[in-house]
A and B are shown apart, each in its own frame.
Chain A
């Protein structure tokens, strides 16, 4: 066992972890932050995606000890308290969320993509979310939502 310090969605935590604990286990079971989901626990489905110091990672294959002193963002922390991020709003408005299990990871993938490429083509969006599996929607409306948000951001800048 070892102690690590983590900042999650703006709050500082100190928590005890085992040498083999994953970041996903710590977020869900120690800190009660359950938006990153365990879909496969082997890095394939992307349901556990989070931002670690701004970098897109799969929490289920990220060792918790290596996260000491770092900052984690999940969908709970995308917007200021009481507000929602444009991706969250647009996913609901365009019907991109069905069962919802993949959606927190999918929104993190969308956020990561738009951070790096604010004006992606449809192909680039598809490639950007290709590590995140959704079994309900067929991806169409998810891609539509991310494109719609990129256009909104565009309008705000110009």
Chain B
């Protein structure tokens, strides 16, 4: 293996097909007779659906079928199953799918959508996570605006003795950082094609990054799992021990050719609606999002507000860190709780801090759901930790390289999540980096190694 690959230029297995146009992305799969799906999205940020009248849409030329929540066997999906396929009663973000039309072409589908009569009571939304955290804030969800982690409204990580850490500190460096939202903007928009066969089985062509999660979710949505799964107990629950690993021999997922994702396709954006529709009407159905829909309503890296309170010694050692981090999740759990978890366990960045207390909140607002993007919470940790290192260095008047060497993880250190670090080369990486950048390090820093045990 080593001789064949390392240090050699390796061609991508699919590279040639990408350049010759032979690669079949989901939208390139063309099945005769496929109907086009368009979706009626919520016109309001928050509201209660009073009535949906689809009769005029069903009578519209070229429309094969219209589906609403009533057509979905089990109307919940997600790694934590709190998101409806089609909103039944409550609408929690502008753009949330409410009804879907399958028609002979895009024009007919859009005409059908325009003929759906939606009676919805608009309610007061909340957009600011700090507002949403207040007890009297409008409720995004009936159970409250904070995700519950193991019985607490925040993820708690405690390491060492934080009070003792602050007592031993020479000074406190406190800061608050805002990490904005970010869109993946992958070049291939969301699209899915569901093709039923005569025996009631389905082939689903997915852009998903996790096709087998989607298989599990589709099996649950269609109640196809052959085991005795009592679906009703899971509906709307923000619990994470539900049967995501469901499967069904009646669904075949075809995936793996993904036109960019960056974490934006870990959530099942497009497979559920064509699947429910295709099974209902027995025709292949394709749902292709427009670029505008993709930018407005697909997931994104959620924004963060992170408050640091660090206890620091004059020699540069950080001896205590207290963090209050607020992750804005948007309207549904999606992967936000996992992202929050991962941030909290890695809130010290790549540095050893002996006394740590982290509280990470995952807050619901009336915006489209945020989710994963390249690192699941590590990016806000890295960005804010490094800014904080510079601020500490400036405050105590120490070189920004030196403070990183002093606190860098070394062999035998423990992370706040109690992992013992056995393999680390941070000091060596920084030494190599300094050399490349033409930065002269002191003899003391040059002599340091990651295998020097911390005293």
A residues apposed to B, CB below 8 Å: 28-29, 32-35, 37-42, 44-45, 47, 74-76, 84, 87-89, 91-93, 95, 97-104, 107, 133-136
- Which chain B residues border A74 with CB–CB below 8 Å? 21
Closest residue of chain A to B259 (Cβ to Cβ) is A101
Minimum CB–CB distance from B28 to chain A (whole Å) comes to 4
Query: What is the number of contacts between chain A and chain B, taking CB atoms within 8 Å?
Result: 105
B12:A75 contact, CB within 8 angstroms? no
B21:A76 contact, CB within 8 angstroms? yes
B27 proximal to A (CB < 8 A) = yes
Closest residue of chain A to B16 (Cβ to Cβ) is A92
A75:B20 contact, CB within 8 angstroms? yes
Residues of B contacting A: mostly: loop
A89 CA / B19 CA spacing, docked (Å): 8
Supplied contacts A28-B30, A35-B21, 10 more A-B pairs, CB within 8 Å: A32-B30, A34-B28, A34-B30, A35-B20, A38-B189, A41-B290, A75-B19, A91-B19, A92-B12, A97-B12
A40 CA / B188 CA spacing, docked (Å): 8
A34 CA / B257 CA spacing, docked (Å): 14
Interface size class of B (residues with CB under 8 A): 20 to 34
Within 8 A of A (CB), among B261-318: 261-262, 288, 290-291
Minimum CB–CB distance from B164 to chain A (whole Å) comes to 46
A15 CA / B252 CA spacing, docked (Å): 34
- Which chain B residues border A99 with CB–CB below 8 Å? 18, 186-188, 258-261
A98 CA / B23 CA spacing, docked (Å): 12
B4 proximal to A (CB < 8 A) = no
Known contacts: A39-B291, A92-B11, A102-B187. The answer to whether A97 contacts B18 by CB under 8 A is yes
Minimum CB–CB distance from A28 to chain B (whole Å) comes to 8
A49 CA / B229 CA spacing, docked (Å): 49
Known contacts: A93-B9, A136-B260. The answer to whether A101 contacts B188 by CB under 8 A is yes
B15:A100 contact, CB within 8 angstroms? yes
Chain B CB within 10 A, most for which of A75, A76, A135, A136 = A135
- Which chain B residues border A44 with CB–CB below 8 Å? 291
A37:B18 contact, CB within 8 angstroms? no
B150 proximal to A (CB < 8 A) = no
Closest residue of chain B to A106 (Cβ to Cβ) is B19
- Which chain A residues border B50 with CB–CB below 8 Å? none
A84:B259 contact, CB within 8 angstroms? no
Interface string of B406-439 (1 = CB under 8 A from A): 0000000000000000000000000000000000
- Which chain A residues border B260 with CB–CB below 8 Å? 99, 101, 135-136
B185 proximal to A (CB < 8 A) = yes
Closest residue of chain B to A87 (Cβ to Cβ) is B19
Chain A CB within 10 A, most for which of B11, B19, B30, B288 = B19
B14 proximal to A (CB < 8 A) = yes
Minimum CB–CB distance from B105 to chain A (whole Å) comes to 9
A134 CA / B19 CA spacing, docked (Å): 14
A95 CA / B19 CA spacing, docked (Å): 11
A29 CA / B288 CA spacing, docked (Å): 14
